[in-house]
Structure 1
Amino acid sequence: MSQRRVIRRLGCADLSAVPAVRRELRSLLGQWGDPDVVAVAELLASELTTNALIHTDHGAVVTATVTAGALRVEVRDFMAGLPVPDVPTADLGTNGRGLILVQSLADAWGVHTHGVGKVVWFELCEGPV
């Protein structure tokens, strides 16, 4: 299997783009691996995309690259400052858990500065079909 990639540019605060990112990722992955791994990929991509759109003022770029053995999703935003996963408290409702999910479910993840802004990424290894 050769490398396949999807790149999507998202407008500022365009939360309607989150389901579209999930659909594009699902289409990219096709029969790539275990459906549970694909579901985790969709969840984590949604979390990172939502974080970028909620916490920045300049939109984001989502890049998903799949090979025979791994998926890498990168979400680039254009705001300074590196995110830090916080242990959420009970009073946060449904907020504050995105990076904790990424940290818990991804095979690898990280964040690095990239010119103006940063890239938050995760990787998943292909599971058995």
Structure 2
Amino acid sequence: MAERAWCVVVPHHARGARLARHRLAGELAPIASPELLADAVAVVAELVGNAIRHAQSLPGEVIRVAWRIRAEGNRQRLEVRVTDGGAGEPPRPREVGIDSIDGRGLAIVAALADAWGVERDGLGQSVWARLSGVRPAEAEQHHDVPEEFRQTLSG
């Protein structure tokens, strides 16, 4: 597998996170290991959710979500990037109590990713994460998309 890349634009509201998860799962399911797919879906959900809750949108009330995957030997490397209009302060993990309802998003990203970070440019702010996993055997690459991700992107 050569490097493959995707970029989607989703609404800057709760539906945007669902749309991003479904699109990512649909594109990666045929080529990524189940473990890498599950981690990638969780990371994108957290990053898009954070962009919706804590940052401004890009022009047009949208968020840009991009990812690329490539094989390196028997490993797969995946980078995901969520770009929004930026927030007052750069994102950083928070310390939260055991009873806290939220605030764990970037801690989850840090736990699942090999590395993550924040970049600012003329477009806005991007939070990226790099993940890796064992490259699935050819026979295992054609697993079904989980039922929860089979819904259409229209609604």
Structure 1 length as normaliser, TM-score?
0.88
Contact 1:62 1:76 in 2 (8 A): yes
Bigger CA radius of gyration: 2
What is aligned with 1:54? 53
Alpha-carbon RMSD across the aligned residues, in angstroms, is: 1.6
* 1:1-129 paired onto structure 2 within 5 Å: 1-12=1-12, 14-58=13-57, 59-68=62-71, 69-80=76-87, 81-93=89-101, 95-129=102-136
Cα shift readout 1:105-125 (whole Å, capped 9, x = no counterpart):
101211111225211001111
Return the offset for 1:33: 3.3
How far the C-alpha of 1:31 sits from its partner, in A, is 3.2
1:126, distance to aligned residue in structure 2 (A) = 2.9
Number of matched pairs: 127
Q: Report the secondary structure of 2:14's partner residue.
A: coil
Task: For structure 1, list consecutive stretches of 5 or more residues without a partner in the other structure.
Answer: none
Task: State the Cα deviation string for residues 59-98 of structure 1 (Å, max 9, x = none).
Answer: 31110111123111000111243111112123421x1011
Instruction: Provide the TM-score with structure 2 as the length reference.
Output: 0.74
Greater displacement, 27-36 / 68-77: 27-36
| Percent identity of equivalent pairs | 31
Could you tell me which runs of 5 or more consecutive residues in structure 2 were left unpaired when the two chains were aligned.
137-155
SS in structure 2 at match of 1:38: helix
Tell whether the 8 Å contact from 2:43 to 2:109 is kept in structure 1 after alignment.
Answer: yes
Task: Point out 4+ residue stretches in structure 1 off by more than 6 angstroms.
Answer: none
